């Protein structure tokens, strides 16, 4: 789900609903409705927040009461004032406005005033909640990644860390007491071998938490063998312990396809439902339904509470299917029921209000059957907030039109309850023409009932407005839920990226180091004491370096690494669906021995803040992160193409803190906007310039 479009959609819904109410009053001849609408937009758009002052409420009150008392317009217009009051600390005055509306006008428009006030409050609050949930996505992703980093550190320290410490201690003992070389060196070799196996197993385990690398490898191997591969991914990651076993099943199934070398097509499919994860591999090159290579995996799947089966179709297509309990790593969905409850309460209040307005027009003898029909409609409307219900839509259509001959004009306003679910349940290309038909049917019904033209127009326009109200309340609640799900997905992606990073580092750093340590230890056992000592001194240096690598892998580093931060930023941005260009050339400065720690920390912090702003304040699709070193100055530049009218927020507290941090290093921070791109540049000298010596 992209970023700014979500915000625009939420606020667009509010504007459309408010415009609908305004249109009804304009059709009734209230020209001041346009002014009331314009003033209300101050509470809708954050960019107009500076105008939210007490004098604005006074202006709204003047407009509302001038329209109602001076020009005789409907007291429903006071709903704009009431909604604004509910959004401010002056909310206790809102009931007084409602009372004044009841005194000035009849019951029907007074009820409309209360409904409009509640809707303005509810829609605005729901929109703000949408933005809050969206803004919290990055925070949750980073927390999840940090927690996963701590978990990885604990796992590695318990196993590989102790092994490296034992290797260092053993080698030092041999160097100090050569007479114990044979005894101790044998133990060191055994420890190195176990540590290497642990490293490889850990790397495989972290990698297998996600099926994505295994699927990518399988597709590449099948393509290289001339087999057409089709992949359908329907699960979310990380998969936890189930991932490793499913990866092994996929690996064995694809290996068997390649070994037989008779298949032309292969389909790899994953699904997740009812607490289970299912992997299905189907190919057309089978000779038998038996696959002995899966025997051990079948046993493991049974122990894990799942199962593996094979089946051969009449067309000769073999399917290997593995089903395991779904266990998603450390990121658990945390539902926030606040927005749902608010939308549900508002929807119930609005439906009740519209129902009361309809009952006011029903003859007393028909009030009970009308109330029963309205109760059924209200229940179905509330159910629509949880999804699409086509059968309920048909029943709602019947309850909309069949009672019209019985209840007359009182039932014409119910058509709006049908328009809202139509907009929610169907694609807009179908929904809007149907809503037009509903409005036309209301107009025709009003003419057949002999209603005057102004009342016919009012009922027709109100049908659209009511439909938009129902759509707006339900859609905003759904947006919050969708964003919560997207936030959880981003957090899971961050965890997957962190585990894959650890797997890569374990393989590339520790794996090679431990393999070299094992080789040199084995060599030292076969050499004379003098030559063995030289090899063991190398082993000691390599083991100490491996301990440093282990701290890097597990994230236990005191100084921030700009390169590591850049990779982390890339992972989070990619997880958010943003294309990243990463070019790091800051190590090219003359006499490079690594950037000073304070420069690494400052630029790393700038990069974190820049990425935070890209995700929170822009709708970027592309982001470029580059570093360069020229004339003793290292520059970091972050550019993204999602700048808005206030893109980048150069005056925010975060940017101010970074400016101060860089100034302490004689560096500087700059921002620029051009052609829809926002650029943040940070510069810091590699070496602090010495203060000039006093002269004279």
Would you state the pLDDT for residue 2? 44
Instruction: Give me 275's structure tokens.
Output: 């607490």
Would you state the pLDDT for residue 573? 74
Would you state the pLDDT for residue 302? 84
Q: Is residue 583 predicted with pLDDT exceeding 80?
A: yes
Other C-beta atoms within 10 Å of 288: how many? 10
Q: Label residues 340-351 b or e (16+ Cβ within 10 Å = b).
A: bebbbebbebbb
Bigger pLDDT: 666 vs 512: 666
pLDDT tens-digit profile of 145-181?
A: 666 666 677 767 777 788 888 888 888 887 888 777 7
The per-residue DSSP string of 576-594 comes to: TT-EEEEEEEGGGSTT-S-
Same fold for the pair 210-325 and 558-696: yes
Lowest-confidence segment of 93-97, 268-272, 322-326 by average pLDDT: 322-326
Q: Which of 83-92, 105-114, 212-221, 574-583 has the highest mean pLDDT?
A: 83-92
Q: Where are the domains of the chain?
A: 210-325, 558-696
Span 11-23, mean pLDDT?
A: 85
Q: Within 13 Å, how many C-alpha atoms sit on residue 55's CB side? A: 2
Would you state the pLDDT for residue 331? 47
CB burial class (10 A; 0-12, 13-18, 19+) of residue 373? buried
CATH placement of domain 210-325: 3.30.565.10
Q: Is residue 277 predicted with pLDDT exceeding 80?
A: yes
Percent of the chain surpassing pLDDT 90:
7
pLDDT tens-digit profile of 527-553?
A: 777 777 877 887 888 787 777 777 767
Q: Is 157 helix (H, G, I), strand (E, B) or coil?
A: helix
Would you state the pLDDT for residue 62? 94
Compute the mean pLDDT over every residue in the chain, rounded to the nearest whole number.
78
Do the beta carbons of residue 630 and residue 682 sit within 8 Å? Answer: no
Q: Is residue 520 predicted with pLDDT exceeding 50?
A: yes
CATH of 558-696, one of 3.40.50.10490, 3.30.565.10, 3.40.50.880, 3.30.390.30: 3.30.565.10
Would you state the pLDDT for residue 58? 93
The per-residue DSSP string of 508-544 comes to: IIIIHHHHHHHHHHHHHHHS-HHHHHHHHHHHHHHHH
Instruction: Give me 330's structure tokens.
Output: 């450390």
Instruction: Give me 685's structure tokens.
Output: 């000298």
pLDDT tens-digit profile of 316-354?
A: 788 888 888 865 544 444 445 666 677 777 778 888 888
- Give the global pTM: 0.57
Lowest-confidence segment of 237-246, 441-450, 512-521, 573-582 by average pLDDT: 237-246
Would you state the pLDDT for residue 35? 93
Would you state the pLDDT for residue 690? 43
Going by C-alpha positions, the residue among 241, 245, 251 that lies closest to residue 218 is 251
Q: Is residue 36 predicted with pLDDT exceeding 80?
A: yes
Do the beta carbons of residue 600 and residue 559 sit within 8 Å? Answer: yes
Bigger pLDDT: 593 vs 442: 442
Q: Which long-range contacts (CB under 8 A, 24 or more apart) does 483-486 make?
A: 483/1, 483/6, 483/130, 483/133, 483/134, 483/137, 484/133, 484/333, 484/335, 484/336, 485/333, 486/1, 486/137
Bigger pLDDT: 600 vs 500: 600
Distance CA 93, CA 6 (A): 33
Q: Label residues 122-161 b or e (16+ Cβ within 10 Å = b).
A: bbbbbbebbbebbbbbbebbbebbebbbebbbebbbebbb
Report angle CA 474, 476, 477 to the nearest 5 degrees. 65
Do the beta carbons of residue 80 and residue 115 sit within 8 Å? Answer: no
- Dihedral sign, Cα of residue 303, residue 307, residue 312, residue 318: negative
């Amino acid at each position: 789900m992209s970023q700014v479009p979500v915000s625009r959609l939420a606020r667009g819904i509010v504007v459309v609903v408010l415009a609908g109410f305004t249109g009804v009053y304009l059709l009734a001849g209230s020209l001041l409705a346009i002014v009331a609408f314009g003033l209300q937009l101050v509470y809708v758009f954050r960019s107009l927040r500076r105008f939210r002052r007490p004098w604005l409420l006074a202006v709204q009150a003047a407009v509302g009461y001038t329209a109602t008392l001076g020009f005789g317009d409907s007291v429903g217009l006071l709903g704009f004032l009431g909604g604004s009051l509910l959004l401010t600390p002056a909310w206790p005055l809102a009931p007084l406005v409602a009372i004044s509306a009841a005194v000035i006008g009849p019951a029907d428009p007074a009820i409309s005033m209360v409904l409009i006030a509640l809707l303005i409050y509810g829609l605005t609050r729901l929109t703000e909640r949408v933005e809050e949930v969206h803004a919290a996505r990055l925070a949750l992703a980073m927390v999840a990644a940090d927690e996963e980093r701590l978990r990885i550190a604990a796992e590695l320290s318990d196993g590989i860390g102790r092994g490296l410490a034992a290797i260092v201690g053993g080698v030092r003992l041999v160097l100090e007491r050569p007479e114990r070389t044979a005894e101790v060196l044998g133990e060191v070799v055994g420890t190195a071998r176990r540590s290497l196996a642990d490293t490889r197993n850990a790397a495989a385990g972290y990698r297998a938490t996600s099926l994505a690398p295994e699927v990518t490898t399988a597709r590449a191997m099948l393509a290289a063998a001339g087999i057409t591969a089709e992949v359908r991914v329907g699960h979310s990651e990380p998969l936890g312990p189930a991932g490793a076993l499913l990866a092994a099943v996929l690996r064995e199934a694809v290996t068997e396809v390649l070994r037989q070398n008779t298949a032309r097509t292969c389909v790899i499919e994953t699904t997740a439902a009812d607490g289970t994860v299912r992997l299905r591999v189907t190919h057309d090159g089978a000779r038998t339904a038996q696959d002995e290579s899966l025997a051990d995996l079948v046993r493991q799947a049974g122990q894990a509470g799942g199962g593996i089966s094979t089946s051969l179709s009449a067309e000769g297509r073999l399917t290997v299917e593995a089903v395991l309990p779904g266990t998603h790593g450390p990121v658990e969905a945390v539902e926030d029921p606040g927005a749902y409850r608010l939308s549900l309460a508002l929807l119930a209040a609005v439906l009740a209000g519209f129902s009361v307005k309809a009952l006011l027009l029903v003859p007393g003898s028909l009030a009970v059957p009308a109330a029963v029909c309205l109760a059924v409609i209200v229940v179905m409307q509330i159910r629509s907030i949880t999804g699409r219900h086509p059968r309920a839509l048909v029943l709602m259509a019947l309850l909309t039109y069949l009672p019209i001959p019985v209840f007359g004009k009182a039932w014409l306003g119910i058509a709006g309850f049908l328009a809202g679910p139509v907009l929610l349940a169907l694609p807009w290309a179908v929904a809007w023409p149907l809503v037009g038909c509903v409005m036309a049917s209301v107009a025709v019904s009003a003419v057949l009932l002999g209603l005057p033209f102004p009342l016919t127009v009012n009922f027709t326009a109100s049908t659209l407005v009511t439909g938009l109200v129902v759509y707006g309340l339900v859609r905003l609640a759904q947006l919050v839920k969708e964003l919560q799900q997207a936030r959880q997905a981003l957090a899971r992606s961050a965890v997957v990226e962190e585990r894959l990073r650890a797997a890569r580092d374990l393989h590339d750093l520790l794996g090679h180091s431990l393999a070299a340590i094992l080789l040199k230890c084995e060599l030292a056992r076969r050499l004379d004491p003098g030559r063995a000592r030289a090899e063991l001194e190398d082993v000691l240096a390599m083991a100490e370096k491996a301990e440093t690598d282990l701290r890097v892998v597990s994230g236990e580093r005191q100084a921030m690494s700009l390169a590591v931060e850049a990779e982390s930023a890339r992972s989070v941005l990619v997880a958010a669906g943003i294309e990243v260009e990463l070019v790091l050339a800051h190590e090219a400065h003359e006499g490079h021995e690594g950037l000073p720690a304070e420069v690494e920390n400052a630029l790393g912090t700038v990069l974190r803040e820049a990425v935070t702003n890209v995700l929170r304040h822009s709708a970027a699709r592309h982001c470029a992160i580059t570093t360069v070193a020229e004339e003793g100055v290292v520059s970091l530049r972050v550019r993204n193409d999602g700048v808005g009218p206030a893109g980048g927020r150069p005056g925010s507290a975060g940017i101010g803190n970074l400016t101060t941090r860089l100034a302490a290093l004689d560096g500087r921070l700059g921002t620029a906007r051009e052609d829809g791109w926002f650029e943040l540049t940070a510069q810091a000298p590699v070496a602090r310039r010495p203060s000039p010596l006093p002269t004279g």
